Amino acid sequence: MPAALAFVRDRVPRPTLRGWGFLVAGILLLVVMNVMQRRDLSFVALLVLALPVVGAVGVLLHRPQLVIDRRFTPELAAAGSDVNVRLLVENRGFFAVGHAVWFDRAAAPLVAGARAPFPRLRRSGAGVPAVFDYELEARHRGQHMVGPLTLLLSDPFGMVIRSVRVGGTDVLTVTPSTVPLPRGAVRLASGAGSAPTSRQLGGAGEQDVISRKYQTGDSMRRVNWSATARLGELMVRQDDQQNDQHAVVILDCAAAGYAAGHHRFSPEFEWAVSMSTSIALHLLGEGFQVRLIDAVGARFDPSSPEELLLHAARTSVVEAEHRGDAGEAVGDHAAPALPASVDYRLAVSRTESSAGDLPPLFAVVGRLDEASLHSLASAARFSSGAVAIIVTPPGAASAGWAASSRQVLESAGWMTQVITSDEAPSAAWGTVDGERLVL
């Protein structure tokens, strides 16, 4: 029933305030004509009533034949940024389109531009389209539907209005906001719980690596930039053991671990996505082969920053299988069902470098259930060092479970930081057990 009402509201011509005024005036004139026996008013009354009716018929019969090409700049937008939307509109019909107001529909939580007058558009000649631009606020990460273009058609006298949707929809991809992490040594505790040891990540020690001239087919990740600048020609690392190193980044995407907000937007989960993506981007830049693991147990190995950002834009929270809404769409994407608990230990144990070295392990998590927490804790033994960041809502309500989770992880050898979602992601790399984590 609501769908039928929406269809009628959008497709059937509706009187404007002026149109209602003419209809009421026409009816009053007919009443006065009958009461006062003034038949000379009949012509005026019928004329006043006919204007809205004729306008409605004309608007109903007018079917614009427009071709819409929608383009986004940039194509991949960061959360919180503005996106320029350009519409290239061609009129393929025989009649001009005018007396209209246009706006582009956008799915929540996007904020589309305001309504604007649609200029009179004649039949397009020589394939030259009309160009319309507006700004779109991409507030939240995800893949969001934009379109179709909506025209509010009116008659020349402004008596009625009719909503017409033209063109299709396009997907705007909004990536998480990320923070650059400085290069340097990462002090990691071993999985056995031993004292932290200093470990250089990737290119931090490039100056000590033997270099050779670049050859066609060499990966750009092997470029030794310091040697290139010193010698004036492109040089690559010849014996780069770190280039074969893997690193694992775990993102807890279980819905139960985060508080849901407006439009099912969770600040804690968005913070976790932003932080995990920032870590993965940094590791890719340092030459690591990064493996992402989520709460479903799915693994993803991005080969480029663009691929990583696109994957992060599609990431959504998932519901547990025992809940009735498993597989429900979050944002614009269907979320897979979450197992009752996640075996992080098994997922991490399958990742190691070609040289047999254990990978460094990073985890960004919310509130884990007991089984998943102990599984994550035991995964530290399969890493060369493990760092966990526990994301909590602002306030003291979450202090209890966060402290308990931290104790379990640290007893298994993890270096753990508890941080609230209203703090900057860079604050996660503060003091952990008296040592400064520098990525």
pLDDT in tens, 234-285: 887 765 444 468 899 999 988 888 876 444 678 899 999 999 999 999 899 8
| Rounded average pLDDT over 20-26 | 95
Specify the pLDDT at position 191: 40
Continuous H helices in 286-369: 305-314, 344-349
Computed over every residue of the chain, the mean pLDDT equals 80
Specify the pLDDT at position 195: 43
CB 290 within 8 A of CB 247: yes
Rounded CA separation 298/212 (Å): 38
Rounded CA separation 159/231 (Å): 76
> 55-59, 267-271, 395-399, 434-438 — which is least confidently predicted?
434-438
> Is the pLDDT score of 355 beyond 70?
no
For the stretch 156-192, what's the b/e string if a residue is b when 16 or more beta carbons lie within 10 angstroms of its beta carbon?
Answer: ebebbbbebebbebbebbbbbbbbebebebbbbbbbe
Specify the pLDDT at position 155: 94
Confidence bin at 219 (pLDDT 50/70/90): low
Specify the pLDDT at position 351: 64
CB atoms within 10 A of CB 231: 12
Percentage of the residues of the chain whose pLDDT score is greater than 90: 45
> Is the pLDDT score of 192 beyond 90?
no
> 142-156, 239-253, 364-378, 400-414 — which is least confidently predicted?
239-253
CB 132 within 8 A of CB 86: yes
> 217-226, 301-310, 319-328, 416-425 — which is least confidently predicted?
319-328
| Rounded average pLDDT over 25-50 | 90
Higher pLDDT, 191 or 184: 184
Specify the pLDDT at position 352: 56
Beta strand spans in 99-245 (E): 100-106, 116-118, 130-138, 142-154, 160-166, 170-175, 185-188, 197-200, 211-213, 235-237
Specify the pLDDT at position 159: 95
Higher pLDDT, 52 or 124: 52
| Rounded average pLDDT over 307-313 | 95
Confidence bin at 45 (pLDDT 50/70/90): very high
Confidence bin at 193 (pLDDT 50/70/90): very low
Higher pLDDT, 34 or 328: 34
Specify the pLDDT at position 199: 47
Tell me, yes or no, if the pTM score tops 0.85.
no
Higher pLDDT, 376 or 1: 376
Rounded CA separation 226/216 (Å): 20
> Is the pLDDT score of 21 beyond 60?
yes
Helix 305-314 to helix 267-285 angle (10° resolution) is 170
Q: Of 222, 185, 233, 187, whose CA–CA distance to 205 is shortest? A: 185
Percentage of the residues of the chain whose pLDDT score is greater than 70: 77
Higher pLDDT, 312 or 225: 312
| Rounded average pLDDT over 186-207 | 44
Q: Tokens standing for 286?
A: 């340092």
CB atoms within 10 A of CB 265: 17
| Rounded average pLDDT over 323-335 | 39
> Is the pLDDT score of 377 beyond 50?
yes
Q: Which residue has the tokens 């060092």?
A: 385
Q: Tokens standing for 51?
A: 């204007």
